[in-house]
């Protein structure tokens, strides 16, 4: 029987539709027969980690706004109410004279405006780096999402085709079992042949059940990547998905370290750390701010008449604070920040080495898997040819049933090996694209 992948894609699509239609539908804007591109787009909007990364961006904007709010005038109001049980006294011209009145109350409004403040200088300059940091975190999450969803989709496609192969295998064995049983009934052969066919049929049915259970898990795993609940329905479309056509990759492309989001994240941390070092140096600057206040003051010996008269006061001025000596704290903080800069430089060098090794490993895996895939493809074609030949010879009475079963097993094994090796090539190709920093997140 000719092994036709185009037919398998269609069968797989129909099987997926049948599986999904039996489930509850709550997949929001995902189409009824989702393609890989649709899955990726859906995941980039609905995966929990992506949503969290977007919320982190919003949180960062609030943190920036909060830090920069110090540049605005800070207005406060303070009030008090006091009753003197004993009035304070002052010694004047040889006499102790009571000062003030028993009941006092005040309400003061004060506005402060920062002019020179190292903390606010740092907040102003750090805003762009904090935004960049959260943007890069979101980009990294999206890259991982695209890779994970693509692998999960191809893994399900592989399972669907494996199930089709097993079903074809069951159909062949069923025909062989029927034929062997008929031969036994007519006395042409003993019962060994159809007993062997029964064993093969039982094993194939058990293998089918296992494959169906594994497929269910793979669908559930894909749902988690999409931000769906395991009880939600999910229908996939495999029509037009030629896995072989997606295998090829330009292996001559070199690693551009700046394309890797991890590298840009580390460079961003370096910029933030350099700014922190500058901030520690700014701590030698004085703090200067302006103020203006207006106060309402009330006093009276009789509490009932306390708020009868107001004695207001107001003032404006500048406040200057000069840090002179802090026990070498500023020196130590500057040195610590400079050491952290040096450490980040080493992290960057180490990351470059790791990316080079990661790319080398991904490329080696891709090439090795490609060799396995081509070999498996040749073996599959040969196994199919051998099976067809032995089947004709068996029908003519030239080959034994055992030889036919061996050919059948070899055919099924070579077909499954081919699918597994094809998936391995596609997965390693995605790993190379991730290592190169060329994963497309703008579907």
Range in 67-81, 90-104, 129-143, 355-369 with the lowest mean pLDDT: 90-104
pLDDT digits (tens, 9 = 90+) for 257-272: 999 999 999 999 999 9
Asked whether residue 225 carries a pLDDT value surpassing 80, the answer given is yes
pLDDT of residue 253: 85
Tell me the pLDDT of the chain averaged across its residues: 88
pLDDT of residue 443: 61
Q: What percent of the chain has pLDDT over 70?
A: 92
pLDDT tier, 14 (very low <50, low <70, confident <90, very high otherwise)? very low
Q: What percent of the chain has pLDDT over 90?
A: 67
pLDDT of residue 205: 93
pLDDT digits (tens, 9 = 90+) for 320-329: 999 998 889 9
Asked whether residue 22 carries a pLDDT value surpassing 50, the answer given is no
**Section 419-432 average pLDDT:** 94
Which CATH number is associated with domain 5-72+120-436? 1.20.1600.10
**Section 279-301 average pLDDT:** 94
pLDDT tier, 241 (very low <50, low <70, confident <90, very high otherwise)? low
pLDDT of residue 18: 40
pLDDT tier, 313 (very low <50, low <70, confident <90, very high otherwise)? very high
pLDDT tier, 25 (very low <50, low <70, confident <90, very high otherwise)? very low
**Section 162-171 average pLDDT:** 92
pLDDT of residue 334: 95
Asked whether residue 7 carries a pLDDT value surpassing 90, the answer given is no
Range in 15-24, 149-158, 228-237 with the lowest mean pLDDT: 15-24
Instruction: Give the 3-state secondary structure of the chain.
Output: CCCCHHHHHHHHHHHHHHHHHCCECCCCCCCCCECHHHHHHHHHHHCHHHHHHHHHHHHHHHHHHHHHHHHCCEEEEEEEEEECCCCCEEEECCEEEECCCCEEEEEEEEEEEEEECHHHHHHHHHHHHHHHHHHHHHHHHHHHHHHHHHHHHHHHHHHHHHHHHHHHHHHHHHHHHHHHHHHHHCCCCCCHHHHHHHHHHHHHHHHHHHHHHHHHHHHHHHHHHHCCCCCECCCECCCCCCCHHHCCCCCCCCCCHHHCHHHHHHHHHHHHHHHHHHHHHHCCCCEEEEEEEEEEEEEECCHHHHHHCCCCEEEEEEEEECCCCCCCHHHHHHHHHHHHHHHHHHHHHHHHHHHHHHHHHHHHHHHHHHHHHHHHHHHHHHHHHHHHHHHHHHHCCCCCHHHHHHHHHHHHHHHHHHHHHHHHHHHHHHHHHHHHCCCCCCC
pLDDT tier, 193 (very low <50, low <70, confident <90, very high otherwise)? confident
| Residue ranges of domains in the chain | 5-72+120-436
């Amino acid at each position: 029987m000719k092994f036709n992948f185009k037919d398998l894609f269609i069968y797989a699509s129909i099987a997926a539709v049948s599986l999904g239609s039996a489930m509850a539908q709550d997949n929001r804007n995902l189409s009824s027969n989702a393609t890989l591109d649709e899955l990726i787009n859906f995941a980039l909007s609905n995966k929990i980690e992506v949503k969290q990364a977007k919320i982190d961006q919003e949180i960062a904007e609030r943190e920036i706004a909060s830090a920069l709010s110090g540049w605005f005038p800070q207005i406060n109001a303070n009030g008090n109410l006091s009753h003197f049980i004993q009035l304070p006294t002052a010694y004047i011209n040889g006499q102790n004279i009571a000062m003030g009145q028993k009941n006092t109350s005040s309400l003061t409004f004060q506005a402060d405006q920062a002019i020179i403040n190292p903390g606010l200088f740092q907040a102003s300059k750090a805003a762009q780096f904090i935004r960049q940091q959260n943007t890069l975190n979101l980009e990294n999450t999206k890259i991982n999402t695209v890779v994970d969803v693509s692998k999960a989709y191809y893994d399900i496609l592989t399972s669907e085709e494996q199930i089709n192969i097993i079903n074809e295998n069951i159909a062949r064995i069923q025909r062989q079992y029927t034929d062997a049983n008929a031969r036994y009934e007519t006395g042409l052969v003993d019962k060994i042949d159809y007993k062997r066919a029964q064993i093969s049929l039982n094993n194939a049915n058990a293998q089918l059940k296992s494959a169906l259970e594994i497929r269910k898990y793979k669908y559930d795993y894909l749902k988690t990547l999409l931000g769906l609940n395991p009880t939600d329905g999910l229908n996939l479309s495999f029509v037009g998905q030629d896995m072989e056509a997606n295998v090829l990759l330009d292996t001559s492309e070199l690693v551009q370290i700046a394309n890797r989001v991890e590298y840009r994240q580390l460079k961003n941390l370096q910029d933030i750390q350099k700014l922190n070092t500058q901030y520690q140096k700014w701590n030698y600057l004085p703090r200067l701010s302006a103020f203006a206040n207006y106060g309402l003051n009330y006093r009276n010996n009789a509490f009932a008449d306390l708020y009868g008269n107001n004695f207001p006061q107001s003032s404006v001025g500048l406040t200057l604070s000069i840090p002179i000596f802090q026990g070498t704290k500023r020196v130590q903080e500057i040195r610590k920040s400079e050491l952290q800069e040096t450490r980040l430089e080493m992290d960057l060098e180490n990351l470059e080495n790791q990316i080079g090794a990661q790319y080398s490993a991904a490329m080696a895996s891709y090439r090795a898997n490609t060799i396995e895939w081509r070999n498996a493809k040749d073996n599959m074609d040969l196994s199919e040819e051998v099976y067809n030949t032995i089947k004709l010879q068996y029908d003519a009475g030239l080959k034994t049933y055992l030889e036919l079963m061996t050919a059948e097993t070899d055919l099924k094994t070579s077909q499954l090996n081919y699918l597994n090796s094809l998936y391995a090539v596609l997965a390693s190709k995605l790993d190379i694209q991730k290592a190169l920093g060329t994963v497309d997140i703008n579907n």
